[in-house]
């Protein structure tokens, strides 16, 4: 029953033809069940199957592979990211080489503009941002650094996200770019959030307007979903889509479990729920060739409810008539997207982590199982390292 249900629910979205053979029926025994077909689960499944020679059942409750990186053609034929824009970037040669086995790449450097004071200006703040916003002509890095230093306010102990920004660029730029955006994104004022949140966004005195400065910046040429399909196309991997772990757990006996879902859910929310911030996406197709000058425009103003608009054709380079955009609205309820970085939440996670460490036949990996915001490359790195560690333990040692 599970299999038929999975195939009928999963097939309409992105059929996985070759890996789902089901030759031996539902009582088949697996070396490992992997829960979650995002980056964490897909890398673990691929390594266990292709390198370890293990029989793997990959289960996801969504009707598709790819996790949050899933992309699909919308009704207008435009390749969109259902769960918000995903831009690949990494400094790791190993991670880039590993993924390159499953995809070719389209070189892409991400650029973001922010709608501030009726202007579209580069984000992160750079020298061009300052010149446009204040009608200046700061010619050198030293000029920009001196301007920012004059704006910055001394903060004796940098503790919160507000402290980080105000001590670097002063209150005016903080209010224009960070305060409204952060309040919308997190439902909290930056003064209530750990300094790590805004530390992620640099301020530049150069005119470099790239969002990321990593060595490798590229998009999978045929999209993320196609890359996942290739990664999972292995005779040792069966895939069950549209089925929750709790339904699959007893129906498919397995020696080892790799769990990439929420760690608090795995333990039945024994100590309470780990708090997450969620998002609501509004996908819109438009009858124009281009909607905005870059892939992402941020809206820090408290006067509009969305935080950003993404236009996918910039990311993918797809040549089709019309365009598709996505509005992002932060939300308290919904899918778990961003762990809320507050010390008490980390303490709660540590209690779940202690339970996880006592499980010898379960491996926890990925952003939901480790309650950390990770970029895609970091999750791939975490999964590759986890697999390497597993092959050193007798329970799941690589098959000769």
Per-residue mark of binding to ligand FAD, 230-249 (x: CB under 6 A): --------------xx----
Min dist CB 338 to ligand FAD, Å, is 6
Closer by beta carbon to ligand FAD, 132 or else 356: 356
What separation in angstroms does the CA of 227 have from each of 87, 221, 231, 336? 14, 9, 6, 24
CA distances to 38, 133, 296, 336 from 263, rounded to whole Å, are 15, 45, 32, 12
Asked if 366 is part of the footprint of ligand FAD (rule: CB under 6 A), the reply reads yes
Q: Which residues pair with 304 in a beta bridge?
A: none
Tokens of 330: 């932060």
Q: Nearest distance from residue 135's CB to ligand FAD, in Å?
A: 33
- The SS3 assignment for 118 reads coil
Closest C-alpha to 45, from 217, 222, 239: 239
With CA atoms as reference, report the closest residue to 152 among 134, 126, 174: 174
Q: What is the largest CA-CA distance in the chain?
A: 72
State yes or no: residue 299 binds ligand FAD (CB under 6 A). Answer: no
Nearer to ligand FAD, 39 or 174 (CB): 39
Q: According to the binding rule CB under 6 A, does residue 349 interact with ligand FAD?
A: no
Using CA atoms, how far apart are residues 89 and 145, in angstroms rounded to an integer? 27
Instruction: Kindly state whether residue 376 participates in binding ligand FAD, applying the rule CB under 6 A.
Output: yes
Is 57 an interacting residue with respect to ligand FAD (CB under 6 A)?
no
The residue written with tokens 């004071």 in the block is 117
30 binds ligand FAD (CB under 6 A): no
**Of the listed pieces 10-18, 79-87, 138-146, 158-166, which binds ligand FAD according to CB under 6 A?**
79-87
261 in contact with ligand FAD (CB under 6 A) = yes
Toward ligand FAD, which CB reaches closer, 78 or 315? 315
Phi, psi (degrees; rounded to nearest 5) at 63: -85, 25
Angle, CA 116 vertex, CA 206 and CA 301 arms, to 5°: 130
Both structure tokens of 182:
């952060």
Question: Integer distance in angstroms from the first to the last C-alpha of the chain?
Answer: 35
CB-based burial, 84-123: b 16+ in 10 Å, e otherwise: bbbbbbbebeebbebbeebbebbebebbbbbbbeeeebbb
Q: Decide if 36 contacts 67 (C-beta within 8 A).
A: yes
Minimal CA–CA distance to 323: which of 312, 315, 334, 332? 312
Q: Where are the alpha helices (DSSP H) in 12-152?
A: 39-46, 93-100, 127-134, 141-151
Nearer to ligand FAD, 66 or 130 (CB): 66
Q: Which of 143, 374, 391, 398 binds ligand FAD (CB under 6 A)?
A: 374
308 binds ligand FAD (CB under 6 A): no
Q: Does 36 bind ligand FAD (CB under 6 A)?
A: yes
Among 33, 45, 57, 87, binds ligand FAD (CB under 6 A): 87
Question: Interacting stretch for ligand FAD, rule CB under 6 A, among 57-65, 186-194, 283-291, 340-348?
Answer: 57-65
Number of residues that bind ligand FAD (CB under 6 A): 33
CB of 258 to ligand FAD, least distance (A): 11
Nearer to ligand FAD, 134 or 281 (CB): 281
- What angle, 0 to 180 degrees and rounded to 10, lies between the N-to-C axes of helices 141-151 and 161-173? 100
**Is residue 84 within the footprint of ligand FAD (CB under 6 A)?**
yes
Q: Considering only 160-168, 267-275, 283-291, 376-384, which stretch makes contact with ligand FAD by CB under 6 A? A: 376-384
Shortest separation between residue 216's beta carbon and ligand FAD, angstroms: 11
**In the complex, minimum distance from the CB of residue 296 to ligand FAD, in angstroms, rounded to a whole number:** 9
What is the nearest approach in angstroms of ligand FAD to the Cβ of residue 212? 9
352 touches ligand FAD (CB under 6 A): no
Note whether 212 binds ligand FAD by CB under 6 A. no
By CB under 6 A, residue 356 contacts ligand FAD: no
Burial class of 245 by CB neighbour count within 10 A (0 to 12, 13 to 18, 19+)? buried
Q: Taking CB under 6 A as the rule, does residue 34 contact ligand FAD?
A: no
Q: Hunting for tokens 């609205």 — which residue is that?
A: 329
**By C-beta, is 121 or 379 nearer to ligand FAD?**
379
Chain contacts with ligand FAD (rule: CB under 6 A): 35-41, 59-62, 67-69, 83-87, 244-245, 260-261, 279, 337, 366-368, 374-377, 379
């Amino acid at each position: 029953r599970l299999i038929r249900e999975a195939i009928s629910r999963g097939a309409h979205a992105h059929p996985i033809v070759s890996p789902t053979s089901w030759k031996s029926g539902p009582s088949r025994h697996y070396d490992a069940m992997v829960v979650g077909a995002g980056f964490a689960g897909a890398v673990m499944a691929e390594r266990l199957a292709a390198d370890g020679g293990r029989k793997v059942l990959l289960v996801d409750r969504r009707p598709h592979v790819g996790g949050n990186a899933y992309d699909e053609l919308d009704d207008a034929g435009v390749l969109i990211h259902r769960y918000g824009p995903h831009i690949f970037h990494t400094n790791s040669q190993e991670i880039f080489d590993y993924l390159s086995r499953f995809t070719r790449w389209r070189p892409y450097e991400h650029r973001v503009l922010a709608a501030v004071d009726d202007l579209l200006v580069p984000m992160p703040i750079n020298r061009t941002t300052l010149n446009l916003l204040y009608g200046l002509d700061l010619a050198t890095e030293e000029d920009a650094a001196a301007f920012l230093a004059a704006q910055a306010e001394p903060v004796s102990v940098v503790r919160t996200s507000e402290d980080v920004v105000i001590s670097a660029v002063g209150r005016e730029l903080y209010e224009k770019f960070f305060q409204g955006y952060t309040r919308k994104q997190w439902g909290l004022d930056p003064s209530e959030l750990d300094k790590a949140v805004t530390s992620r966004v640099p301020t530049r005195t150069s005119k470099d307007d790239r969002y990321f400065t990593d060595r490798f910046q590229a998009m999978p040429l045929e999209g993320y979903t196609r890359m996942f399909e290739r990664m999972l196309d292995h005779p040792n991997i069966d895939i069950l889509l549209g089925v929750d772990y709790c339904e699959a757990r007893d129906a498919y006996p397995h020696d080892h479990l790799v769990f990439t879902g929420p760690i608090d859910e795995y333990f039945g929310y024994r100590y309470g729920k780990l708090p997450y911030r969620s998002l609501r996406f509004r996908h819109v197709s438009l009858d124009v060739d281009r909607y905005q000058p870059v892939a992402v425009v941020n809206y820090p103003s408290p006067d509009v409810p969305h935080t950003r608009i993404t236009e996918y054709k910039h990311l993918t380079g797809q040549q089709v008539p019309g365009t598709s955009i996505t509005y992002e609205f932060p939300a308290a309820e919904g899918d778990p997207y961003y762990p809320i970085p507050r010390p008490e939440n980390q303490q709660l996670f540590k209690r779940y982590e202690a339970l996880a460490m006592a499980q010898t036949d379960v491996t926890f990996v990925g952003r939901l199982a480790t309650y950390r915001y990770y970029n895609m490359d970091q999750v791939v790195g975490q999964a590759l390292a986890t697999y390497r560690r597993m092959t050193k333990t007798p329970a799941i040692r690589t098959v000769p």
